[in-house]
């Protein structure tokens, strides 16, 4: 059976700093990519999934903390927890704004919450060994999901199509600040998984569960948002063809590139540092209006 390459040395230069950003959504139009409701709502699925999803990451990583025997990795996990906690709240504020604009995201968010808390949450009554196993299994899911958040983050940092379409600058900053931090901390979950269990099978299982789950949640989320949009009256149904056309115009990620990127996760020699660019991410964080304002506090 193939095994992953030896657990890579932890990156001793990685210091993860939670940036306590604030965004003002009061002027955000419902279709924040003007006249592009499909692209707007496909990206809006991030706001539906991330508050519950990233709070779940934080819970899983807090449960993993006592199992970490490498001090540097422990510091990185703490930085990761700090960043993800802020991400969750930043996206939660967008959900609150949508509700104020007459688009009620709560029915879908309740389902996402049920999935993360009930299905993927901590089970009561486990032995110590079962509990450890359950934590590592969930770390494998997080590591696979973080492959996608880094892919999406890298896309957000390289998405001039959104600027050409005159997407709302505050939303672009949210997407790129968050995307940059995803690229910045893209190796932490994978390194944690390797630290707790370097086995290839666990990694593969994490992707085989998380990949299809994310696609399913995204398709349902996009359908939900388009149906719930009070300006559309249910007139627009998303199609794969439309997603493809939007991707060609640079408004959405290219699904073929996404599939190819997911396939790389199965490569035994895979490591997240080979995806995306840390220097580009840090370069954006140095110019992001929200990150600069947070640094000035």
Kindly list the residues in this chain that would bind Fe ion in the complex (CB under 5 A).
Answer: 84, 87, 149, 182
Query: Nearest approach, Cβ of 50 to Fe ion (angstroms)?
Result: 6
Closer residue to Fe ion, CB minimum distance, 91 or 195 = 91
Among 294, 254, 259, 252, which Cα is nearest to 22's?
Answer: 294
Query: Nearest approach, Cβ of 225 to Fe ion (angstroms)?
Result: 20
Closer residue to Fe ion, CB minimum distance, 150 or 226 = 150
Closer residue to Fe ion, CB minimum distance, 55 or 87 = 87
Q: What is the largest CA-CA distance in the chain?
A: 55
Query: Nearest approach, Cβ of 186 to Fe ion (angstroms)?
Result: 7
Packed helices 169-184 and 278-287: angle between N→C axes, nearest 10 degrees: 140
Closer residue to Fe ion, CB minimum distance, 182 or 275 = 182
Helix spans in 65-199 (H): 71-100, 106-114, 128-157, 160-164, 169-184, 188-196
| Rounded Cα distance, 14 and 187, in Å | 10
Please report where in the chains the tokens 């388009």 appear, as a residue: 226
Query: Nearest approach, Cβ of 243 to Fe ion (angstroms)?
Result: 23
Packed helices 278-287 and 289-296: angle between N→C axes, nearest 10 degrees: 70
Q: Which residue is nearest to Fe ion (CB)?
A: 87
Query: Nearest approach, Cβ of 184 to Fe ion (angstroms)?
Result: 9
Closer residue to Fe ion, CB minimum distance, 136 or 192 = 192
| Rounded Cα distance, 116 and 84, in Å | 15
Contacts of 134 (CB under 8 A, 6+ apart): 122, 123, 126
């Amino acid at each position: 059976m193939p095994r992953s390459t030896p657990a890579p040395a932890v990156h001793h230069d990685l210091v993860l700093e939670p940036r306590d950003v604030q965004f003002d959504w009061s002027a955000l139009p419902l279709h924040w990519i003007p006249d592009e409701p499909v692209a707007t709502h496909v990206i809006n699925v991030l706001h539906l999934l991330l508050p519950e999803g990233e709070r779940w990451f934080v819970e899983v990583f807090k449960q993993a903390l006592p199992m970490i025997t490498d001090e540097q990795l422990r510091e990185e996990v703490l930085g990761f927890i700090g960043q993800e906690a802020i991400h969750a709240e930043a996206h939660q504020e967008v959900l609150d704004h949508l509700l104020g604009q007459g688009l009620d995201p709560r029915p879908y968010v309740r389902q996402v919450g049920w999935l993360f808390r009930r299905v993927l949450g901590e089970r009561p009554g486990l032995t110590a060994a079962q509990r450890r196993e359950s934590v590592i299994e969930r770390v494998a899911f997080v590591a696979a999901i973080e492959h996608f958040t880094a892919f999406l983050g890298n896309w957000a940092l390289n998405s001039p199509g959104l600027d050409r379409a005159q997407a709302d600058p505050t939303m672009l900053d949210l997407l790129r600040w968050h995307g940059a931090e995803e690229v910045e901390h893209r190796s932490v979950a994978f390194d944690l998984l390797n630290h707790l269990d370097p086995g290839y099978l666990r990694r593969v299982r994490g992707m085989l569960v998380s990949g299809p789950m994310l696609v399913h949640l995204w398709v349902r989320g996009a359908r939900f948002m388009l149906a719930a949009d009070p300006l559309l009256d249910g007139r627009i149904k998303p199609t794969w063809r439309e997603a493809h056309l939007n991707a060609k115009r640079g408004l959405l990620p290219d699904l073929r590139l996404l599939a190819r990127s997911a396939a790389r996760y199965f490569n035994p020699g895979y490591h997240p540092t080979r995806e995306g660019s840390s220097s580009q991410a840090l370069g954006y964080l140095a110019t992001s209006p929200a990150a600069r304002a947070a640094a000035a506090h």
